């Protein structure tokens, strides 16, 4: 068994995990590091992931793979990007200026054209063994890589609507590796310590909580009690970093650059999370299922995404974090070339696109192509299993040898009949 698969949580004690020592840094207990500068230098070398999920299906034809002046091209122009010969939709004007930092995969060819199966299949990587529920990509990274030295939760999800701890993402890994979701990008209620409670009193209460937890856990199934305790412990780290959630105090220029929209604000919080040291940050944006009025819908949706996405790519590059952060922007499928009777585009897994950037990814690359009308991929298309191998390779994980241990059953972390897309990797 590769050491990456051994549970990282066994390497440190509960006390050390909580970072309760007086010498702990703002990002959490970092052991023998002498200075905050050294801690920051170490954290910058840790690999992280930003996963932008455009739920419902962004149209590749109105974003990464435009086909103007064709039967299915739609009304929008294609514009040049910062990479000579590469064009994006005119709705992606700001991302076009960041194309030299992006790797666009234009030849995705997957299988599921329904949301119910497609969302799970794409985020799980569709390994061949489907007898057990595989973890979503964020849960897989939480298991394989654990938290960074920040000790903040390894997998957070910034999303519209409600939040909470989403154990279903973890699949057979168990509830502990679920996502900590922040509804509307806000911290959970009562996250912050009440002002009337002193820090030492809070510490005493938590010591009592730990003692009672041990007594409670001794008589119950460990996977659920462990998850409950884990969520509470990582939340304590978030208490110390409450400013992560408050974008109102950021410079107005930053808020304008990201856009004063839901996705703009959520992407700013994601930037804060990455800067603070969260291992895996997922940002979800809804409303992309444009079966009707596709062009007006994308004319509204795409520029909001484009502004926020380009801004965070630019900022991660400027701070140096992009070098060690894998960035992915995608949906569960693309949209049909054919325009339906409601002036919409339907679900289309046969030929669509995603964008990547950062850690291990070849900047300025366009991998694969669709035919002139955008109906199907040219040559060989790539299924999601190959994409998972590519992501793991970019993060330094050998997806051909590393395995999960499902209660003694070895399972591959990605589809064993597929392999990484070499053209997308440095």
Q: 330-353, pLDDT tens digit by residue?
A: 999 999 999 999 999 999 999 999
Residue 32: pLDDT above 70?
no
pTM for this predicted structure: 0.85
| pLDDT bucket at 12, cuts 50 / 70 / 90 | very low
Q: Which of 99, 72, 62, 79 is nearest to 299 (CA)?
A: 62
Q: Which residues pair with 159 in a beta bridge?
A: 183
Q: What is the chain's mean pLDDT, rounded?
A: 87
Whether residue 391 contacts residue 385, with contact meaning beta carbons closer than 8 Å, is answered with no
pLDDT digits (tens, 9 = 90+) for 283-292: 999 999 999 9
Residue 6: pLDDT above 60?
no
The helix (H) or strand (E) run that includes residue 283 is strand 280-285
CATH architecture group of domain 3-20+47-424: 3-Layer(aba) Sandwich (3.40)
The token pair that represents 149 in the structure block: 């030295």
The helix (H) or strand (E) run that includes residue 246 is none
pLDDT greater at residue 157 or residue 194: 157
């Amino acid at each position: 068994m590769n050491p990456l698969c051994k549970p990282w949580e066994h390497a440190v004690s509960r006390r050390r995990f909580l970072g309760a020592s007086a010498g702990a840094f703002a990002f959490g207990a970092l052991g023998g590091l002498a200075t905050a500068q050294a801690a920051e230098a170490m954290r910058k070398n840790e690999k992280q992931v930003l996963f932008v999920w455009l739920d419902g299906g962004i149209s590749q034809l109105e974003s990464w793979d435009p086909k103007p002046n064709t039967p299915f091209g739609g009304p929008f122009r294609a514009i040049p990007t910062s990479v000579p010969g590469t064009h994006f939709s005119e709705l992606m004007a700001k991302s076009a200026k960041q194309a030299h930092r992006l790797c666009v995969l234009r030849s995705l060819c997957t299988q599921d054209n329904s949301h119910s199966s497609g969302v799970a299949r794409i985020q799980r990587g569709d390994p061949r063994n489907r007898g057990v529920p595989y973890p979503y990509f964020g849960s897989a990274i939480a298991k394989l890589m654990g938290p960074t030295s920040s000790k903040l939760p390894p997998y957070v999800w910034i999303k519209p609507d409600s939040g909470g701890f989403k154990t279903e993402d973890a699949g057979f890994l168990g509830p502990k590796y679920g996502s900590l979701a922040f509804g509307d990008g806000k911290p959970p209620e009562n996250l912050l310590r009440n002002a009337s409670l002193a820090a030492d009193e809070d510490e005493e209460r938590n010591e009592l909580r730990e003692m009672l937890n041990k007594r409670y856990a001794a008589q119950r199934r460990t996977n659920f009690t462990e998850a409950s305790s884990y969520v509470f412990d990582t939340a304590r780290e978030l208490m110390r970093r409450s400013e992560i959630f408050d974008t109102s105090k950021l410079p107005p220029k930053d808020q304008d650059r990201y856009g004063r929209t839901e996705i703009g604000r959520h992407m700013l919080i994601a930037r804060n999370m990455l800067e603070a040291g969260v291992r895996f940050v997922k940002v979800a944006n809804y409303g992309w299922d444009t079966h009707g009025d596709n062009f007006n819908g994308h004319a509204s949706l795409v520029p909001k995404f484009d502004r926020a996405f380009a801004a965070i790519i630019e900022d991660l590059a400027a701070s140096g974090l992009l070098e060690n952060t894998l960035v992915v922007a995608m949906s569960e499928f693309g949209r049909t070339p054919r325009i339906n009777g409601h002036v919409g585009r339907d679900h289309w897994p046969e030929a669509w696109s995603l964008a990547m950037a950062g850690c291990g990814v070849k900047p300025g690359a366009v991998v694969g192509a669709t035919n002139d009308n955008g109906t199907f991929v040219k040559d060989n298309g790539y299924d999601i299993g190959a994409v998972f191998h590519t992501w793991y390779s970019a993060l330094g994980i050998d997806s051909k040898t590393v395995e999960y241990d499902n209660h003694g059953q070895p399972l591959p972390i990605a589809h064993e009949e597929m392999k990484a897309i070499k053209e997308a990797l440095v």
